[in-house]
Amino acid sequence: MPAVITTPKVTVIPAKKDRPSNALSNEVAKRLRVAAYARVSTNNEEQLTSYEAQVDYYTRYIQSKLDEWDFVEVYTDEGISATSTKKRDGFNRMITDALAGKIDLIITKSISRFARNTVDTLTTVRRLKEKGIDIFFEKENIHTLDAKGELLITIMSSLAQEESRSISENVTWGQRKRFADGKVSLPYKRFLGYRKGSDSLPEIVPEEAVVVRLIYRLFLYGKSPSAIASYLTDEGILTPSGKAVWRASVVESILTNEKYKGDALLQKKFTVDFLTKKQKINEGEVPQYYVANSHPAIIEPEIFDLVQYEMKRRKADGRWTSCAHPFSGKILCGECGGIYGSKVWHSNTPYRTVVWQCNEKNRGQHCATPHLYEDEIKAAFIATFNLVLGNREEIVEAYHEVMEALTDTADLDMERSQLQNELEVTMGLIQKAIDENAQRAMDQDEYNRKYTDLCERYESVQARLAELEAQRLERTAKRVKIKMFLEQLEARDMLVQAWDEELWYTTVNSVTVLHDKKMVFTFLDGRQAKISAEIWKVT
């Protein structure tokens, strides 16, 4: 029997209508808790006026609707970029309050004032939307709780992000143009020794320059960056950023910054990502610019070069110690070449004594060189310097004749200039080879051979340039050391009668201890003088 097909019967179930409002009901329509967000991205006077105007406008606007809204607060960020929300304290506090149920509606001028990063914008909007919190962007006339709100926000925030990219690129271009023009600007708030002058160039701060010169002098006296940092901290001298405690890294950065000799290497770092503002050290990815004599120098160029030489030498020699004592790192064992260190004998008795002896003895080395008392080393130095002082006129006259020949760098400078030209030519040939290979078909084996040869030539020239720079630095350092030594000789009209720590630092390079307490003093000019215990013996 065939199945009977019946026509489906559809019954419409009408929607439930809202219950008619009762005029006599005590229920009151929910009042919205409303906040506003205002931000300017720079600290100039014009922007600050805009910032104050925004705060005043939103405060008045929300309070004018007190019959519908409850005023919460105008959250603000002043002088902060909008490319990321991480460092915007006012913005982040507002979002925290909103998610905690304290805000129903946020009013802001535009998407670009809210954030120029698409991801940040949409992430924040969605977090608030899940909690039923609306954001109203006045300029774009967008409510985020509207159906079309998110699509419009995505489009508008993408445009804002591209605007931010354009601004970042313009700023970067402007900075590099200033670099190419040799215009120098320093981070003055955390740069010791300089302030911005009336001509917008660095100007020396006299009281801070004293500290900079002290740091350089202590280093040349033999102290390491860590020892200098401890000294400055103990003396109550504040760091460049105003902190009480110095770090060795801060001292080392001052000792190696060419700006203290009046020059400036520009674009040491560059911004990798305009959104994250992440920076990295420039290792050749973008151009650098070296500007000589760009501003007044705090440290004489020759002294600066000597410090660089000394820093390199100490690290290579493994003598990067605390150097807290004038003798640290300067007294050497004539038998094994080890460094003398201080030792305390009978430390817990009335006979407590400090002596200096070869450190290798504590490591199993049986050196026959004797230990020395501090008074003995001081007496030997005074006697030796006085011997040298007796030949002062002869020494000074001899050095004046040969000084230029010993330390002249003209030949190195000429070769360096030639090699720098060769470097530019070779780089041009490398680029030309790459362009030709990209534009037309070439035998790749031949191209690779040519490319490899050019790269090896480039690296060879670079290596030679590094050698020349090391030789030039060594000659400059030698000239400064001789100059310091001669200045001490010429300044002394009579024999030295007592220990003089500054005289020690500015004349002695090292002391080698031999048997029977004989010592060989090596002065900064390279001159050596041997002295026996009979001459300097302490009575």
pLDDT for position 102: 93
pLDDT number for residue 47? 43
pLDDT at 277: 55
Q: What is the pLDDT of residues 450-478, one digit of tens each?
A: 888 998 998 899 889 888 888 888 888 77
Mean pLDDT of the region 103-118: 80
Q: Is the pLDDT of residue 42 over 70?
A: no
Q: What is the DSSP string of 243-304?
A: -SS--HHHHHHHHH-GGGGT-EEE-SEEEEETTTTEEEE-SSSS--EEETT-S--SS-HHHH
Percent of the chain with pLDDT over 90: 17
Provide the H-helix boundaries in 146-191: 149-180
- Supply the pLDDT for residue 166: 56
Could you give the C-alpha distances from 53 to 39, 229, 407, in angstroms and in order?
A: 11, 47, 66
Domains with residue ranges and CATH for the chain: 32-166 (3.40.50.1390), 188-317 (3.90.1750.20), 331-533 (1.10.287)
* Res. 182: pLDDT tops 80: no
Whether residue 107 is predicted with pLDDT greater than 70 in this model: the reply is yes
Distance from C-alpha of 226 to C-alpha of 329, rounded to nearest angstrom = 15
What mean pLDDT comes out for the span 337-353? 85
Q: Under a CB-based contact definition with an 8 Å cutoff, are residues 530 and 519 in contact? A: yes
Other beta carbons within 10 Å of 472: 18
Each residue of 371-395: pLDDT tens digit?
Answer: 999 999 999 999 998 888 888 777 7
Residue 16 has pLDDT above 50, yes or no: no
Q: Residue 155 has what pLDDT?
A: 67
Residue 481 has pLDDT above 60, yes or no: yes
Measured between its terminal Cα atoms, the distance across the chain in Å is: 141
Q: What is the DSSP letter of 190?
A: G
Flag whether pLDDT at 14 surpasses 90: no
- Asked whether the predicted pLDDT for residue 511 surpasses 90, the reply is yes
DSSP for 498-534, please give it.
Answer: S--HHHHHHHEEEEEE-GGG-EEEEETTS-EEEE-HH
At residue 247, the pLDDT reads 93
Do residues 103 and 72 make contact, with C-beta atoms less than 8 angstroms apart?
Answer: yes
What's the pLDDT at 116? 56
The pLDDT tens digits for 250-303 are 999 999 988 898 888 766 565 544 444 566 665 555 566 677 777 889 998 888
**Which run of H or E residues covers position 204?**
strand 202-204
Between 427 and 106, where is the model more confident?
106
164-179 pLDDT, tens digit each: 555 555 444 445 445 4
**Model pLDDT, residue 271:** 57
69 within 8 A of 31, measured Cβ to Cβ: yes
Of 141-155, 208-222, 223-237, give the lowest mean pLDDT range.
Answer: 141-155
Q: Are 75 and 35 in contact (CB under 8 A)?
A: yes
Work out the number of other CB atoms within 10 angstroms of the CB of residue 262: 20
Is-contact 520 536, C-beta < 8 A?
no
| Paired strand residues for 266 | 289
Mean pLDDT of 298-318: 83
Taking alpha carbons only, the member of 361, 362, 374 closest to residue 328 is 374
Q: How confident is residue 133, by pLDDT bands cut at 50, 70 and 90?
A: very high
Query: How distant, in Å, are the alpha carbons of 172, 280, 283, 287 from that of 269?
Result: 12, 5, 9, 10
Distance, CA of 165 to CA of 271 (rounded, Å): 12
Which of 151-155, 295-299, 319-323, 345-349 shows the lowest mean pLDDT across its residues?
319-323
pLDDT value, residue 174: 45
**Which residue shows structure tokens 């191209």?**
447
Q: Two tokens at 83?
A: 């490319």
For residues 366 and 326, give the distance between their C-alpha atoms in angstroms, rounded to a whole number: 26
Q: Which residue has the higher pLDDT, 537 or 297?
A: 297
Mean predicted confidence (pLDDT) in 476-484? 78
CB-based burial, 495-517: b 16+ in 10 Å, e otherwise: ebeeebeebbbbbbbebbbbeeb
- Tens of pLDDT, residue by residue over 74-87, are 998 875 544 445 56
Average pLDDT, integer, range 10-28: 43
281 HSE (CA, 13 A, CB side)? 1
Given a cut of 50, whether residue 45 has pLDDT beyond it is no
Q: Are 490 and 315 in contact (CB under 8 A)?
A: no
Taking the CA atoms of 132, 136, 137 and 140 in sequence, report the sign of the dihedral they define. Answer: positive
Mean pLDDT within 499-509: 85
Among 252, 248, 203, which residue's Cα sits nearest to residue 230? 248
- Asked whether 200 and 252 are in contact (CB, 8 A), the reply is no
CA distance 18 to 15: 9
Q: Which residues contact 284 (CB under 8 A, 6 or more apart)?
A: none
When the pLDDT of each residue in the chain is averaged and rounded to a whole number, the result is 78
pLDDT, greater one: 160 or 365: 365
